[in-house]
Homo-oligomer: A and B are copies of this chain.
């Protein structure tokens, strides 16, 4: 069972049925009582009854707080509404908040848990591939502002992550593929069994029960001991400096996060190869070609012609991870061998975009 270890404590990632959540709360030392459940209309419609019934059967009083689905709910207005709805139930500092849903619910519900009464115990119950392999793990929570994504938030480690493989069956195909982009990212970063399994598996969608826990374990290992992104955790931004810029330039909601990250990983692989060779190289040599082949199985979308290289480069410099010495990129010297590159010439970045924008 993968475990995330931070200076402030540790938590496990359980791969098991949603209905075990109440027992896990008690195992964490909480007494049955009020339990806040933050979810969205889509996930709530499918799984809220199962979870609420299990909570009630174990002596808890579930109090559902249901938000509209989609990134729009990561707003300060929805955050305020969630806080009000939670406070209406009269929580104490021992009241758990269960975030049942995908990345939006995990980030929003997690931020509410981080700040209500200055911190409630949190259980992450991720219901998408993206959330199960990535966003529910590591303690990052937050909301968006008009200036960008996740610009207001907190680090708030959950009591546990409970990822039920069964709930993935109801996901739309595009949503599954978006999440698999992060699994591919973890395969490139860690190599080993996850990389081999993904290379060998003909249809990832049929092997989620195997791939998802392995990919989650990579995330758990990376964030352990690096809660606040001082070192190794920055590697998880592989493809994201490019991908975030593409998401922002295309307009949020045009591409899924995973689609943007897939394009971004191709750009990062091109950059990796050209930094290694000292010049832009196409076609990509090994080992980057094999990694790019894995990324292309995600079927990354074409970048719209209207998005010029200038627009994409401009969008990169508004990402919050920039620092004074310029943009910072995660590159790969090999499968499972990431490093940070700073002071990259803009020409290399443009060449990487030119490569990645071609399907």
Interface residues in chain A, defined as those with a beta carbon under 8 Å from any beta carbon in chain B: 31, 33, 76, 79-80, 83-84, 87-88, 92-94, 114-119, 140, 142, 145-148, 150-155, 228, 320, 322-324
With contacts A92-B323, A92-B324, A324-B92 known, is A118 near B154, CB below 8 A? Answer: yes
Expressed in whole angstroms, the Cα–Cα distance for A140 and B117 within the complex equals 11
Give min CB distance, A119 to chain B, whole Å. Answer: 7
Top 9 nearest A-B pairs (CB, nearest first) are: A87-B147, A76-B80, A118-B153, A115-B152, A83-B152, A117-B320, A87-B151, A115-B154, A118-B154
- Contact call A83/B145, Cβ cutoff below 8 A: yes
Expressed in whole angstroms, the Cα–Cα distance for A94 and B79 within the complex equals 26
A87 to chain B: which residues have CB within 8 Å? Answer: 145, 147-148, 151
Number of copies: 2
Give min CB distance, A296 to chain B, whole Å. Answer: 33
A80 to chain B: which residues have CB within 8 Å? Answer: 76, 145
Q: Which of B84, B140, B148 interacts with A118 by CB under 8 Å?
A: B140
A146 to chain B: which residues have CB within 8 Å? Answer: 84
Give min CB distance, A205 to chain B, whole Å. Answer: 33
Give min CB distance, A146 to chain B, whole Å. Answer: 7
- Contact call B320/A151, Cβ cutoff below 8 A: no
A114 to chain B: which residues have CB within 8 Å? Answer: 154
- Contact call A117/B154, Cβ cutoff below 8 A: no
Expressed in whole angstroms, the Cα–Cα distance for A80 and B140 within the complex equals 20
Give min CB distance, A266 to chain B, whole Å. Answer: 28
- Contact call B323/A153, Cβ cutoff below 8 A: no
A76 to chain B: which residues have CB within 8 Å? Answer: 76, 79-80, 83
With contacts A33-B324, A83-B145 known, is A152 near B116, CB below 8 A? Answer: yes
A83 to chain B: which residues have CB within 8 Å? Answer: 76, 145, 151-152
25 contacts across the A-B interface (CB closer than 8 A): A76-B76, A76-B83, A80-B145, A83-B145, A83-B151, A84-B146, A84-B147, A87-B145, A87-B147, A88-B147, A92-B323, A92-B324, A93-B320, A94-B323, A115-B115, A115-B142, A116-B152, A117-B151, A117-B320, A118-B140, A118-B153, A118-B154, A118-B155, A119-B228, A154-B154
Expressed in whole angstroms, the Cα–Cα distance for A230 and B320 within the complex equals 35
Chain B residue at minimal CB-CB distance from A141: B118
Expressed in whole angstroms, the Cα–Cα distance for A87 and B145 within the complex equals 9
- Contact call A322/B92, Cβ cutoff below 8 A: yes
Chain B residue at minimal CB-CB distance from A75: B80
Expressed in whole angstroms, the Cα–Cα distance for A76 and B112 within the complex equals 13
A154 to chain B: which residues have CB within 8 Å? Answer: 114-115, 118-119, 154
Give min CB distance, A328 to chain B, whole Å. Answer: 12
A322 to chain B: which residues have CB within 8 Å? Answer: 92
Expressed in whole angstroms, the Cα–Cα distance for A33 and B146 within the complex equals 24
Chain B residue at minimal CB-CB distance from A143: B115
A151 to chain B: which residues have CB within 8 Å? Answer: 83, 87, 116-117
A152 to chain B: which residues have CB within 8 Å? Answer: 83, 115-116
Give min CB distance, A32 to chain B, whole Å. Answer: 11
Give min CB distance, A319 to chain B, whole Å. Answer: 11
Q: Which of B33, B92, B115 interacts with A153 by CB under 8 Å?
A: B115
Expressed in whole angstroms, the Cα–Cα distance for A119 and B320 within the complex equals 12
A92 to chain B: which residues have CB within 8 Å? Answer: 320, 322-324
A320 to chain B: which residues have CB within 8 Å? Answer: 92-93, 117
With contacts A87-B147, A323-B92 known, is A142 near B155, CB below 8 A? Answer: no
